[in-house]
């Protein structure tokens, strides 16, 4: 290793992956500064009295083979069923690699898991993403279904010509009634902005291939037991409809705790409780970062040869000492960040029942 140093801000997935890659592919030493005392950013798994709670269920799924291989390189996919796989009679595509791990014997393993997400709406549970099945139709009732059907047909024959907002985008694809029923409130709650204030390009990017016809096709495939995916790649499945995914035995945080361990083992440094407060700038380049130690309250300057930031863009831009164009500073100061609340329920006993895939 030579004496070149990369200063990395944040020990979330991005910062840790960058550090790992630098150690694998270069002779630059990564030095991570992490504001909190926890590894994994919003992908962490919180350990509460030995109960591991994710900050939102995290699916390890990507259509990029490179990303999938990267994760599988850290934790290989299970080669035999876990005790709950057996208990629930799950049929999962086990890895056939000769050294594929047994989840009952090792913790360093990716499990193969099915997704269950639901929306509580009209005091009833609806599958998310919405799936067209008998339960959904009986939850909605005949009148609502009729309205959804007619408004969908209307949207086919009389579409909004110029889509000016996400609302227009969704109405054109799902009909106004379905949009009002499921998408309008949900999107506003998740993103904090009403759909008529969001540009249509956002919808095109997030749910580009999803439509009623695709949802119908998926429902028909499910009826004949061919919905979802037969393989872990699920290349032909729309991302929002992905039903199965890899999941580290002890949650997403386990992945990042392991990567942090490997980074340190290979000579990288991780400094916890150190917040980057400002960025020094000289001759068009970053010249150093100001780091504050949460325990002592002291601040000091850290210099490196390379800088990688995974901190919020707003803080990054406003943290520059000089040289930020006014327009950029204005946009950065108006970026919105949302609070997020996760409720973990601890139960004394769990009566497990099989959920149809
Ligand atoms: C509810 C929910 C569900 C999700 N589900 C999935 C999923 O199923 N699959 C998936 O792939 N992704 C999912 N994601 C997205 C995933 O969590 C993020 O893409 C990922 O965590 C981003 O990683 P990051 O390292 O860029 O940022 P972060 O995870 O935000 O990490 C940034 C780190 O930098 C630190 N930091 C910030 N400012 C400073 C500073 N000034 N100085 C030092 N350190 C700083 C933070 O403390 C944090 O540890 C989900 C996210 C949420 C919220």
Are both 146 and 190 inside the same structural domain? yes
Mutational pocket test of ligand 1: of 42, 56, 279, the residue with most ligand atoms within 8 Å of the beta carbon = 42
Atom number, ligand 1, closest to the C-alpha of residue 62: 11
Regions of the chain short of the pLDDT cut 70: 1-2, 129-131, 207-242, 352-357
| Residue with CA at minimum distance from ligand 1 atom 6 | 58
The answer to whether position 267 is within a domain reads: yes
The answer to whether position 246 is within a domain reads: no
Cis peptide leading into 236, omega within 30 of 0? no
Residue range 138-150, pLDDT digits in tens: 888 899 889 999 9
Residue 58 alpha carbon to ligand 1 centre in Å: 11
The answer to whether position 320 is within a domain reads: yes
The answer to whether position 67 is within a domain reads: no
Is the CB–ligand 1 distance for residue 190 below 6 Å?
no
The answer to whether position 58 is within a domain reads: no
CATH label of the domain that carries residue 312: 3.50.50.60
Is the CB–ligand 1 distance for residue 54 below 6 Å?
no
Is the CB–ligand 1 distance for residue 90 below 6 Å?
no
Are both 299 and 210 inside the same structural domain? no
Atom number, ligand 1, closest to the C-alpha of residue 36: 47
| Residue with CA at minimum distance from ligand 1 atom 1 | 56
At 294 the pLDDT is 97
- What are 309's strand-pairing partners? 9
- DSSP string of 262-308, one letter each residue: HHHHTT-EEEETEEEEEEEEETTEEEEEEEEETTT--EEEE--SEEE
The answer to whether position 208 is within a domain reads: yes
Residue 42 alpha carbon to ligand 1 centre in Å: 4
The answer to whether position 216 is within a domain reads: yes
Count of domains for the chain: 2
Atom number, ligand 1, closest to the C-alpha of residue 10: 34
* d(C-alpha 303, C-alpha 321), whole Å: 15
Residue range 59-104, pLDDT digits in tens: 898 889 999 999 999 999 999 999 988 888 888 889 999 999 999 9
| Residue with CA at minimum distance from ligand 1 atom 12 | 58
Pick from 213, 215, 218, 246: nearest CA to 232: 246
Is the CB–ligand 1 distance for residue 15 below 6 Å?
yes
At 244 the pLDDT is 82
The answer to whether position 349 is within a domain reads: no
Q: Which domain holds residue 215?
A: 118-223
């Amino acid at each position: 290793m030579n004496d070149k140093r990369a200063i990395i801000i944040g020990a979330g997935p991005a910062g840790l992956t960058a550090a790992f890659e630098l150690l694998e592919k270069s002779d630059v030493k990564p030095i991570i500064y992490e504001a909190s005392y926890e590894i994994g950013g919003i992908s962490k798994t919180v350990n509460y009295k030995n109960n591991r709670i994710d900050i939102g269920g995290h699916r390890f799924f990507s259509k990029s083979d490179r990303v999938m291989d990267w994760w599988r390189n850290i934790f290989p996919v299970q080669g035999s069923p876990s005790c709950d796989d057996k208990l629930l009679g799950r049929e999962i595509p086990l890895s056939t690699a000769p050294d594929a791990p047994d989840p009952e014997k090792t913790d360093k393993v990716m499990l193969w898991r099915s997704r269950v997400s639901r929306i509580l709406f009209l005091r009833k549970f609806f599958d998310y993403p919405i799936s067209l099945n008998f339960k959904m139709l009986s939850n909605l009732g005949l009148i609502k279904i009729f309205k959804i059907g007619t408004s969908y047909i209307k949207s086919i024959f009389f579409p909004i010509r110029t889509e000016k907002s996400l609302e227009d985008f969704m109405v054109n694809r799902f009909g106004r009634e379905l949009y009002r029923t499921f998408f309008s409130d949900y999107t506003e709650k998740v993103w904090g902005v009403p759909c008529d204030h969001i540009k249509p390009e956002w919808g095109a990017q997030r749910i580009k291939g999803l439509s009623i016809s695709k949802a119908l096709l998926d429902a028909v495939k499910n009826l004949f037991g061919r919905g979802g995916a037969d393989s872990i790649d699920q290349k032909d499945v729309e991302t929002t409809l992905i039903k199965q995914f890899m999941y580290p035995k002890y949650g997403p945080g386990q992945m990042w705790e392991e990567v942090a361990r490997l980074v340190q083992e290979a000579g990288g440094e991780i400094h916890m409780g150190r917040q980057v407060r400002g960025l020094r700038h000289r001759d068009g380049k970053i010249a150093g970062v100001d780091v504050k130690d949460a325990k002592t309250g002291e601040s000091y300057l850290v210099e490196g040869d390379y800088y990688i930031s995974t901190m919020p863009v707003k803080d990054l831009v406003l943290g520059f000492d000089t040289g930020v164009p006014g327009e950029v500073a204005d946009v950065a100061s108006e970026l919105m960040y949302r609070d997020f609340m996760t409720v973990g329920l601890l139960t004394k006993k769990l009566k497990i029942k099989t959920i149809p895939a």
